[in-house]
Amino acid sequence: MHFAQYYLDCLSQASYLIGDETTGRAVLVDPRRDIDEYLHDAEAAGLRIELVIETHIHADFLSGHLELARATDAAIAFGEAAETGFPIRRLRDGERISLGADDTEGVTLTALATPGHTLESICLVIHEHPDDEAPFGVLTGDTLFVGDVGRPDLLSAAGHSPHDMAARLYRSLHTKLLTLPDATRVFPAHGAGSACGRSLSTETSSTIGDQRRLNYALQPMPEADFVRLVTAGQPATPGYFAHDVALNRDGHPLLDPGPPAALTLDEALAARDRQGAVLLDCRPSAAYTRAHLTGSLHTSLDTRFAEYAGSVVAPGTPIVLIADPGTEQEARLRLARIGYDRVLGHLSDPAAVLERTPALTRRSRRIRHDELALEEPQPGDATAVGAPAPGVPVAEAAAVGAPADGPAADAPAPEGPAPGVQLIDVRNPAEYEAGALPGARNIPLAGLSQRLTELDPARPVVLYCRSGGRSVIAAALLEARGFGDVCDVVGGYEAVAAAVG
Tell me the catalytic residues: 465
Distance CA 199, CA 195 (A): 9
User: Contact 480/463 with Cβ under 8 angstroms?
Assistant: no
Question: Measuring CA to CA, which residue among 191, 204, 150, 149 is closest to residue 4?
Answer: 204
Q: What's the start-to-end Cα distance of the chain, in Å?
A: 53
Using the Cα atoms of residue 388, residue 391, residue 396 and residue 398 in order, give the sign of their dihedral: negative
Distance CA 77, CA 79 (A): 7
Distance CA 317, CA 320 (A): 10
Contacts of 426 (CB under 8 A, 6+ apart): 443, 444, 445, 448, 463, 464, 465, 470, 471, 474
Backbone angles phi, psi at 313, to 5 degrees: -115, 125
If 0-12 CB within 10 Å is exposed, 13-18 middle and 19+ buried, where does residue 354 land? buried
State whether residue 164 is helix, strand or coil: helix
Using the Cα atoms of residue 206, residue 210, residue 214 and residue 218 in order, give the sign of their dihedral: positive
Distance CA 226, CA 221 (A): 7
Distance CA 477, CA 473 (A): 6
Backbone angles phi, psi at 438, to 5 degrees: -55, 130
User: Contact 91/75 with Cβ under 8 angstroms?
Assistant: no
Distance CA 143, CA 169 (A): 7
Distance CA 335, CA 309 (A): 8
User: Contact 448/312 with Cβ under 8 angstroms?
Assistant: yes
State whether residue 66 is helix, strand or coil: helix
Strand pairing class (262-263; 343-347): parallel
E strands, 116-270, in order: 122-127, 137-141, 144-145, 148-149, 185-188, 206-207, 262-263
User: Contact 393/414 with Cβ under 8 angstroms?
Assistant: no
Distance CA 200, CA 111 (A): 24
Distance CA 319, CA 335 (A): 10
Backbone angles phi, psi at 391, to 5 degrees: 80, 0
